[in-house]
Structures are given as structure tokens and as C-alpha cells.
Amino acid sequence: MINLAGHCDPYSNGCTGLSSDIKSCQAKGVKVMLSLGGASGSYSLTSTADAKQVATYLWNNFLGGHSSSRPLGAAVLDGIDFDIEGGTDLHWNDLARFLSGYSKRGKKVHLTAAPQCPFPDAWVGNALNTGLFDFVWVQFYNNPPCQYSSGDIGNFEDSWKQWTSDITVTKIFLGLPASPEAAGSGFIPVSDLTSKVLPAIKGSAKYGGVMLWSKYYDDQSGYSSAIKNHV
């Protein structure tokens, strides 16, 4: 079943009201994605045919296709985000190819992903090798071997260089927790981020910016406001 957490109930058409919100964001140039997966749960596709069926469902219900049961209403999302953090690594590359194929029908279907920083990612590594992804927000947290630690930027820099050189992607974003409470480890104080971390990576042609987990924690901490002028 579709689970949109506490935001709304898709089974009573309670999420179609978000359509105007989505269109409002898009009118301001903000891309709105549907994220698949999450930090908990097990996610899998059983075959290439299964991947094609899922792509068709996503196209008709959330992207540019047509369905009588569009959970978010008439708004056409900008693409699909792969946040697969458990399950299997099979056929996500097929799903990426099938979704990307729908770009030929007009509006581009953007593909994004949120892999862990150990390279290659255990779940979406194969999908990222397709070269079809526009934006990849790498989770440089909850992964001590490749995240920044106070006073030691070496492991982080090595990981960043591997990500930016070993996959074909338009832009790579530095994924961080928006507060110490947002993750088990990997929070970077604003002063360290602006003086040490960002200067080390902003020169990369693939640097896209910073991704934060999550809006809830950012509202509490004000982290994005504190770093915005430096990103």
C-alpha cells in the first residue's frame, strides 16, 4: 500500500490537495520528486518485467501519464528519487532505464538518488552506473569511514573524489544531517563546514550543493539558513 506517513491518507483522496502546493513550488523553479524507499524497510524488484511494471505505475500515477487514481492529484512530479537503503540491489538499473525512457514523451523525467558514502553503494550502485541520474545526494553521515570527522578531512575528501570521478552524473550533493539529532553521526558544525569542508569540494565541476536530512530537523536548527550564503 502507499504510505505517505502522517502527511495525508491517499485512500480517502486526502493527498490530492497537495497538487496545488506542488505546482506552486514548481512555478518557483523547485523540482519536486517522489522518493522511493527509506532508511527502514526492505525494497526489491523481482525481475526486469517487474521493474517495467513499476515504472509504468509511477509514470501513470505521479508523472506525465494518466490514471483515475493519482494520489497527489493532477500535479506532474519532476522525477523519481532512489533512496533504497535495504533489500536487494537487483533491477534498480532496469527501473532507471524504463523511467528515463518516458522523457521522450515531453517533460524530462529526472532521476536522483541518495546513496550511502561507502563506494560503490550496496543497493543503487548498479543503477548509478547507467549514467542516467541527474542529481545524487550522497549520505556522508552514519558512515564513519567516509564522513568528515572533527579535524580530519582526509577520508571525506578521498570519498568525495571517488564519487565525483567514478560515476557519470550531472551534479553530486553533499548529504548532511541538519542537526546532531538528525543522524547517529556525521553532523558538521557550521564553522567547520564553511571553513574546511565546502572549500575542499566546491572546486569540483560536479559539485551541486548541500542536501540536508531533514526539513523537520532543519526547522529546529536553522542549519540551512546558517550555511546558505556559503553553499
Point out the catalytic residue in the list 85, 94, 121, 218: 85
Interatomic CA distance for residues 190 and 36, integer angstroms: 30
In the chain, the largest separation of any two C-alpha atoms, in whole Å, equals 55
Q: Is 85 a catalytic residue?
A: yes
Radius of gyration of the chain, Cα coordinates, nearest whole angstrom: 18
Work out the angle between the directed axes of helices 92-101 and 48-61 (0-180°, nearest 10).
40
Q: How is residue 215 written as a grid cell?
A: 526539513
Neighbours of 118 (CB within 10 A): 15
**Which H/E stretch holds residue 33?**
strand 33-38
Interatomic CA distance for residues 121 and 115, integer angstroms: 6
Active site residues: 85
